[in-house]
Amino acid sequence: ICLIEGLYLEGAGWDTTNHCLTEQSNKQLIQMMPLIKIIPIETYRTNMTNYLLAPAYVTSNRRNTMGTGLVFEANLYSKKD
């Protein structure tokens, strides 16, 4: 288990009460995420219904000067199908 802070969500919102993705607020393209707990699991053992696979990048440009930047992909819960 790992705790991560300092990540931002682009193009969506985060409902801190229900701990899930929401539609983005008007005129707010980027939102800071709360502290995130990462638990590595084998995906074939879980039901991933209502989860969005969201990429996490090193920079807001999505890649660095070397052309790389994807760090990991997080399954974020959404109440919408």
What is the full per-residue pLDDT of the chain (81 aa) written as tens digits?
A: 899 998 888 889 999 999 999 998 888 888 899 999 988 888 777 778 888 888 888 777 766 656 577 888 888 999 875
- Quick check: 10 and 30 in contact, CB under 8 A? yes
- The pTM (predicted TM-score) of the whole model is 0.73
Q: How many domains does the chain have?
A: 1
Q: Which domain holds residue 53?
A: 2-77
